[in-house]
Amino acid sequence: MLAMKVVALLVAILGLALAAFFLLYGTKAGILERKILADFQGTYDTGQSALRRGIFYVILGLLFLAGSIVTLVVAIAKARG
């Protein structure tokens, strides 16, 4: 039982880290600078396509944030009893 609580806590922390990355990167590179990495070869999207990709990353970050908050709340509730 303790192992499941620890795994849930680790998943929630990983979700928070991914949420922070996607929110920060989507906002900074996609929305503010409008120059975001497009592929692994090092090419960049600029302008409207970077803005769309940045908004997508922000939405993805918000979903990770919501999921990790739900996981944290459930893990804390299970830990208390």
What's the pLDDT score for residue 79?
82
d(CA 17, CA 81): 27
Mean pLDDT score of the chain: 92
What's the pLDDT score for residue 8?
87
Is residue 81 pLDDT above 80, yes or no?
Answer: no
What average pLDDT does range 60-74 have in this prediction? 94
Which residue type occupies 21? F
State pTM to two decimals: 0.87
Which H, E and C letters describe the chain, residue by residue?
CHHHHHHHHHHHHHHHHHHHHHHHHHHHHHHHCCEEECCCCCCEEECHHHHHHHHHHHHHHHHHHHHHHHHHHHHHHHHHC
What average pLDDT does range 74-80 have in this prediction? 86
What's the pLDDT score for residue 78?
85
